[in-house]
Structure 1
Amino acid sequence: MAEVDAVDSADDELLTIGAFAARARLSAKALRLYDRLGLLSPAHVDEVSGYRYYRADQVERARLVALLRQLDMPLARVAEVVEADGTDAAELLAAYWTDVETRIAGQRTLAEYLRARLSGRSSEMYGKFVVETVEVPEQVLITETRHTLADELPAWIGASLGRLEAAAEECGGVSGAPFVVYHSEVSMESDGPAEACVPVADEAAARAWAAGQGRARQTAVRVEPARTLAYTRITKAQVAHPQILAAFEAVERWVAAEGLRYAGPCREVYFADWGAAGAGDPVCDVAFPVEEAQSQ
Structure 2
Amino acid sequence: MEDVPVMSIGEFARRSRLSPKALRLYERQGLLVPTAVDPVTGYRSYAEDQLDAARLIGRLRRLDMPLAVVGAVLAAPADARADLVAEYWAAVVRRIAVQSDLAAYLRSMLSEGKGLSAMYEVSSRAVPDQVVLTEQRHIRQPELSGWIGAAMSRLFTTALTDGGPSGSPFVIYHGEVTEDSDGPVEVCVPVAREVAGTPSRVEPAHTEAFVRLRKREVRYPQILGAFDAVATWVTDQGHPLTEAPREVYFADWEKIGPDDPACDIALPFKP
Q: Which TM-score band (shorter chain)?
A: 0.5 to 0.7
Name the SS of the counterpart of 1:232 in structure 2: strand
- Name the TM-score, length of structure 2 as normaliser: 0.60
**Identity score, percent:** 38
Selected match of 1:233 from 172, 191, 210: 210
Q: Aligned equivalents of 1:136 and 1:34: distance in 2?
A: 62
Q: Aligned equivalents of 1:92 and 1:196: distance in 2?
A: 41
Name the SS of the counterpart of 1:91 in structure 2: helix
Q: What is the CA-CA distance between 1:75 and the residue it aligns to?
A: 2.1
Partner of 1:59: 51
**8 Å CA contact 2:211, 2:264 repeated in 1:** yes
Q: What is the CA-CA distance between 1:91 and the residue it aligns to?
A: 2.3
Q: What is the CA-CA distance between 1:59 and the residue it aligns to?
A: 1.6
Paired AA for residue 187 in structure 2: C
Q: What is the CA-CA distance between 1:15 and the residue it aligns to?
A: 3.2
Q: For each residue in 1:90-114, what CA deviation from the matched residue of structure 2 results, as whole angstroms up to 9, or x when unmatched?
A: 2222333344445556667777888
Partner of 2:135: 141
Q: Within 5 Å, which residues of 2 pair with 1:1-296?
A: 11-103=3-95, 122-125=116-119, 128-131=121-124, 140-141=134-135, 147=142, 160=150, 163-164=153-154, 167-168=157-158, 177-180=168-171, 183-184=177-178, 197-199=187-189, 231-235=208-212, 241=217, 247-254=226-233, 256-257=235-236, 267-271=246-250, 284-287=263-266
**8 Å CA contact 1:130, 1:233 repeated in 2:** yes
Q: Aligned equivalents of 1:10 and 1:225: distance in 2?
A: 86
Name the SS of the counterpart of 2:217 in structure 1: coil
Change (3 A) 1:283 1:62: closer
Gaps of 5+ in 1: 1-8, 186-191, 207-222, 292-296
**8 Å CA contact 1:129, 1:250 repeated in 2:** yes
Gaps of 5+ in 2: none
Q: Aligned equivalents of 2:235 and 2:57: distance in 1?
A: 54
Q: What is the CA-CA distance between 1:60 and the residue it aligns to?
A: 1.3
Change (3 A) 1:74 1:263: farther
Paired AA for residue 170 in structure 2: F
Q: Aligned equivalents of 2:104 and 2:215: distance in 1?
A: 16
Change (3 A) 1:275 1:29: closer
Name the SS of the counterpart of 2:52 in structure 1: helix
Paired AA for residue 140 in structure 1: T
**8 Å CA contact 2:247, 2:266 repeated in 1:** yes
Q: What is the CA-CA distance between 1:26 and the residue it aligns to?
A: 1.1
Q: What is the CA-CA distance between 1:276 and the residue it aligns to?
A: 9.8
Q: What is the CA-CA distance between 1:53 and the residue it aligns to?
A: 3.0
- Name the TM-score, length of structure 1 as normaliser: 0.56
Paired AA for residue 81 in structure 1: V
**8 Å CA contact 1:234, 1:283 repeated in 2:** no
Q: For each residue in 1:72-131, what CA deviation from the matched residue of structure 2 results, as whole angstroms up to 9, or x when unmatched?
A: 2222222222222332112222333344445556667777888899796544555x3135
**8 Å CA contact 1:161, 1:196 repeated in 2:** no
Q: What is the CA-CA distance between 1:157 and the residue it aligns to?
A: 9.7
Name the SS of the counterpart of 2:74 in structure 1: helix
Q: Aligned equivalents of 2:11 and 2:201: distance in 1?
A: 70
Q: Aligned equivalents of 1:96 and 1:49: distance in 2?
A: 39
Paired AA for residue 287 in structure 1: A
Q: What is the CA-CA distance between 1:64 and the residue it aligns to?
A: 0.6
Paired AA for residue 232 in structure 1: A
Bigger CA drift: 72-81 or 101-110? 101-110
